[in-house]
Amino acid sequence: MLLTVIIPAYNEAKTILEVIRKVHEAPYEKEIIVVDDGSSDGTREILRNNRELEKIPNLKIIFHEKNQGKGAAIRSALKMASGDVILIQDADLEYDPAEYPNLLSPILEGKADVVYGSRFLGGPHRVFYFWHYVGNKIITLLSNMLTDLNLTDMETGYKVFRREILEGIEIESSDFGFEPEITAKVAKKKCRIYEVPISYFGRGYEEGKKITWVDGLKAIFAILKYNLFR
């Protein structure tokens, strides 16, 4: 089994090298595809010039000339992906690559086509932002109502797919709308979806967190769009 890890990155100069190192050290034979999505904080210079990256096998780096969004970065990476299983890894280290065995286990055991890592199933997490928690619950509830799923964390950054599942799906969203879009589309395909508990080290805005209430409104629009009008 070859694992493809896709790392969309936008202005993550403080963490990009560490996340690549941790992904490289995680179990399984893998290829790593990093997409610099038009960073302006030095991330792209690190990816171009750091000699340590030359020592990492099967590392591919894609550069977007301007910021297009998470969905666009994933689209670009999928064009180069050759793994049997595709895993999305955010570049901010809120999610720990050491947990890959838990994430991949349902797929490797033949029980699942898609696995979501849930921050709300009992794993350790940094205590942060009550209203983000409420917003996530509202968005997940709305998604569940329209997909007839019972997910606890639709917006999780840890999503894992059998390659064949993504090959049959066109990703239209360029921004964070990727999360509700892919959820709607795997639900319509009647995929076997598992959730597993994960740890979560959330960041504050002073530490580089980017998602805002505007992204929440966009997520609601995407839920309605991809469940009712696609």
Q: Which residues contact 53 (CB under 8 A, 6 or more apart)?
A: 17, 20, 47, 59, 61
Q: What DSSP designation does 125 have?
A: B
Q: What is the mean pLDDT of residues 125-131?
A: 62
The fraction of the chain above a pLDDT of 90, given in percent, is 77
Q: What is the mean pLDDT of residues 24-40?
A: 97
Per-residue pLDDT at 205:
46
- Extract the tokens encoding 33: 């595809």
Give the model confidence (pLDDT) of 168-189 as tens digits: 899 999 888 999 999 999 999 9
Q: What is the mean pLDDT of residues 40-54?
A: 94
Q: Please state, in angstroms and rounded to a whole number, the distance separating the CA atoms of residues 214 and 23.
A: 30
Per-residue pLDDT at 31 exceeds 60: yes
The reported pTM is: 0.90
Q: Please state, in angstroms and rounded to a whole number, the distance separating the CA atoms of residues 179 and 153.
A: 10
Q: Please state, in angstroms and rounded to a whole number, the distance separating the CA atoms of residues 115 and 159.
A: 6
The dihedral built from the CA positions of residue 83, 38, 18 and 214, taken in this order, carries a sign that is negative
CA 122 to chain centre: 20
Domains delineated in the chain? 3-228 (3.90.550.10)
Q: How many residues does the chain have?
A: 230
Per-residue confidence at 217, pLDDT binned at 50, 70, 90? confident
